[in-house]
Amino acid sequence: MLPEGSPLPVAEAGSRSFVEWARAVLVEKVGPGRYQVEVVVRRLGAREGGGYERVDPVGVLIDLTWTAEGWMVTDLPALVDAPLMPQDPGWPLNELPVSELPPAIESIASELGGQVVGGSQVGEAWRLVVVIADATGVSWPMVIWADLTGNRIPVPATPGQP
Protein backbone atom coordinates (compact mmCIF):
# COMPACT_ATOMS: atom_id res chain seq x y z
CA MET A 1 0.00 0.00 0.00
CA LEU A 2 2.88 2.39 0.66
CA PRO A 3 4.55 3.70 -2.49
CA GLU A 4 8.04 2.36 -3.20
CA GLY A 5 10.61 4.38 -1.27
CA SER A 6 8.15 5.56 1.40
CA PRO A 7 9.45 5.45 4.95
CA LEU A 8 8.20 2.37 6.78
CA PRO A 9 6.47 2.70 10.16
CA VAL A 10 8.92 2.69 13.06
CA ALA A 11 8.58 1.68 16.68
CA GLU A 12 10.65 2.44 19.74
CA ALA A 13 13.27 -0.22 20.43
CA GLY A 14 11.73 -3.08 22.38
CA SER A 15 8.14 -1.92 21.97
CA ARG A 16 5.50 -4.48 21.04
CA SER A 17 1.90 -4.30 19.91
CA PHE A 18 -0.82 -6.61 18.68
CA VAL A 19 -4.53 -6.42 17.97
CA GLU A 20 -6.60 -7.63 20.91
CA TRP A 21 -9.84 -7.41 18.93
CA ALA A 22 -11.35 -5.82 15.85
CA ARG A 23 -15.04 -5.37 15.13
CA ALA A 24 -16.73 -4.25 11.91
CA VAL A 25 -19.43 -1.77 12.90
CA LEU A 26 -20.64 -0.55 9.51
CA VAL A 27 -20.51 -1.81 5.91
CA GLU A 28 -21.54 0.55 3.12
CA LYS A 29 -21.68 -0.15 -0.62
CA VAL A 30 -20.08 2.82 -2.39
CA GLY A 31 -20.05 1.56 -5.97
CA PRO A 32 -20.12 -1.56 -8.12
CA GLY A 33 -17.97 -4.10 -6.26
CA ARG A 34 -16.73 -1.41 -3.83
CA TYR A 35 -17.44 -1.25 -0.13
CA GLN A 36 -16.24 0.75 2.84
CA VAL A 37 -16.07 -1.06 6.16
CA GLU A 38 -15.80 0.87 9.40
CA VAL A 39 -13.78 -1.11 11.90
CA VAL A 40 -13.00 -0.47 15.55
CA VAL A 41 -9.68 -1.92 16.69
CA ARG A 42 -8.24 -2.25 20.17
CA ARG A 43 -4.58 -3.12 20.56
CA LEU A 44 -2.39 -4.20 23.42
CA GLY A 45 0.96 -2.47 23.55
CA ALA A 46 4.09 -2.60 25.67
CA ARG A 47 7.25 -0.56 25.88
CA GLU A 48 10.65 -2.15 26.42
CA GLY A 49 10.76 -3.93 29.76
CA GLY A 50 7.09 -3.23 30.52
CA GLY A 51 3.95 -5.29 30.51
CA TYR A 52 1.14 -5.00 28.01
CA GLU A 53 -1.48 -2.27 28.43
CA ARG A 54 -4.73 -1.77 26.54
CA VAL A 55 -4.59 1.05 24.01
CA ASP A 56 -7.77 3.09 23.46
CA PRO A 57 -9.87 1.77 20.56
CA VAL A 58 -9.30 3.38 17.16
CA GLY A 59 -11.84 3.67 14.35
CA VAL A 60 -10.70 3.15 10.77
CA LEU A 61 -12.45 3.03 7.42
CA ILE A 62 -11.23 0.30 5.06
CA ASP A 63 -11.85 0.48 1.30
CA LEU A 64 -12.52 -2.92 -0.30
CA THR A 65 -12.96 -3.85 -3.94
CA TRP A 66 -14.13 -7.19 -5.30
CA THR A 67 -11.80 -8.53 -8.02
CA ALA A 68 -11.50 -11.83 -9.88
CA GLU A 69 -9.03 -12.93 -7.18
CA GLY A 70 -11.37 -11.96 -4.30
CA TRP A 71 -11.50 -8.97 -1.95
CA MET A 72 -8.67 -6.44 -2.13
CA VAL A 73 -7.92 -3.63 0.27
CA THR A 74 -7.51 -0.65 -2.05
CA ASP A 75 -6.17 2.04 0.27
CA LEU A 76 -4.55 2.59 3.62
CA PRO A 77 -7.00 2.70 6.56
CA ALA A 78 -8.57 6.13 7.03
CA LEU A 79 -8.84 7.32 10.61
CA VAL A 80 -12.43 7.97 11.77
CA ASP A 81 -13.97 8.62 15.17
CA ALA A 82 -14.32 5.34 17.03
CA PRO A 83 -17.92 4.76 18.07
CA LEU A 84 -18.50 3.96 21.71
CA MET A 85 -18.57 0.22 22.03
CA PRO A 86 -20.77 -1.46 24.61
CA GLN A 87 -18.82 -2.95 27.46
CA ASP A 88 -18.46 -6.56 26.48
CA PRO A 89 -18.17 -8.72 29.56
CA GLY A 90 -16.33 -11.26 27.41
CA TRP A 91 -15.85 -14.86 28.32
CA PRO A 92 -14.59 -15.68 31.78
CA LEU A 93 -11.15 -17.24 31.95
CA ASN A 94 -12.08 -20.18 34.11
CA GLU A 95 -9.16 -22.15 35.38
CA LEU A 96 -9.58 -25.73 34.32
CA PRO A 97 -8.16 -28.46 36.48
CA VAL A 98 -5.91 -30.40 34.11
CA SER A 99 -7.30 -33.62 35.57
CA GLU A 100 -10.72 -32.79 34.03
CA LEU A 101 -9.41 -32.32 30.50
CA PRO A 102 -9.09 -35.19 28.06
CA PRO A 103 -5.36 -35.83 27.37
CA ALA A 104 -5.94 -35.08 23.68
CA ILE A 105 -6.58 -31.41 24.54
CA GLU A 106 -3.07 -30.91 25.89
CA SER A 107 -1.81 -32.60 22.70
CA ILE A 108 -3.69 -30.03 20.58
CA ALA A 109 -2.12 -27.19 22.56
CA SER A 110 1.34 -28.77 22.31
CA GLU A 111 1.04 -29.18 18.54
CA LEU A 112 0.28 -25.46 18.33
CA GLY A 113 3.29 -24.66 20.52
CA GLY A 114 1.13 -23.45 23.38
CA GLN A 115 -0.50 -24.35 26.62
CA VAL A 116 -4.08 -24.31 27.89
CA VAL A 117 -4.57 -21.51 30.45
CA GLY A 118 -8.34 -21.65 30.90
CA GLY A 119 -11.70 -22.19 29.35
CA SER A 120 -14.98 -23.89 30.05
CA GLN A 121 -17.34 -26.58 28.88
CA VAL A 122 -19.97 -25.11 26.56
CA GLY A 123 -22.72 -27.56 25.75
CA GLU A 124 -21.11 -30.63 24.22
CA ALA A 125 -17.72 -28.97 23.63
CA TRP A 126 -14.75 -27.37 25.35
CA ARG A 127 -13.95 -23.69 24.67
CA LEU A 128 -10.27 -23.44 25.55
CA VAL A 129 -8.00 -20.43 25.94
CA VAL A 130 -4.53 -21.36 24.74
CA VAL A 131 -1.46 -19.12 24.89
CA ILE A 132 0.59 -19.62 21.72
CA ALA A 133 3.97 -18.01 21.02
CA ASP A 134 4.59 -16.89 17.44
CA ALA A 135 7.91 -17.02 15.57
CA THR A 136 9.00 -13.73 17.21
CA GLY A 137 8.38 -15.08 20.71
CA VAL A 138 5.29 -12.94 21.34
CA SER A 139 2.55 -14.88 23.14
CA TRP A 140 -1.01 -14.65 21.85
CA PRO A 141 -4.12 -15.81 23.67
CA MET A 142 -6.29 -17.77 21.25
CA VAL A 143 -9.43 -19.85 21.55
CA ILE A 144 -9.65 -23.39 20.26
CA TRP A 145 -12.72 -25.61 20.39
CA ALA A 146 -12.67 -29.33 21.11
CA ASP A 147 -15.32 -31.99 21.51
CA LEU A 148 -15.68 -33.68 24.89
CA THR A 149 -13.17 -36.37 23.95
CA GLY A 150 -10.54 -33.75 23.15
CA ASN A 151 -10.62 -33.68 19.34
CA ARG A 152 -10.33 -30.21 17.81
CA ILE A 153 -13.55 -29.02 16.14
CA PRO A 154 -14.42 -25.97 14.01
CA VAL A 155 -15.60 -22.80 15.73
CA PRO A 156 -19.35 -23.14 16.30
CA ALA A 157 -21.56 -20.95 14.09
CA THR A 158 -23.06 -19.58 17.30
CA PRO A 159 -20.48 -19.69 20.10
CA GLY A 160 -22.06 -21.36 23.07
CA GLN A 161 -24.06 -23.61 20.71
CA PRO A 162 -21.57 -26.18 19.35
The per-residue pLDDT for 162 is 42
For 1-44, what is the HEC assignment? CCCCCCCCCCCCCCCEEEEEEEEEEEEEEEECCEEEEEEEEEEE
**Rounded to an integer, what distance in angstroms lies between the CA atom of residue 34 and that of residue 66?**
7
| pLDDT value, residue 67 | 92
CATH T-level fold of 16-80: Nuclear Transport Factor 2; Chain: A, (3.10.450)
Distance CA 117, CA 114 (A): 9
Contact 27, 56 (CB under 8 A): no
Amino acid 61: pLDDT: 92
Beta-bridge partner residues of 22 = 41
Is 122 in contact with 112 (CB distance < 8 Å)?
A: no
Q: Which amino acid is at 112?
A: L
Residue-by-residue pLDDT tens, the chain, 162 positions: 667 877 777 777 778 888 888 888 889 999 999 999 999 988 888 888 888 888 888 899 999 999 999 999 998 889 998 776 655 555 556 666 656 677 777 788 888 888 888 788 888 888 888 888 777 777 777 888 988 888 889 988 765 544
Domain-wise residue ranges, the chain: 16-80, 98-153
* pLDDT number for residue 49: 82
Q: What is the pLDDT of residue 93?
A: 60
Q: In the prediction, which pLDDT does 161 show?
A: 45
Report if pTM > 0.75: no
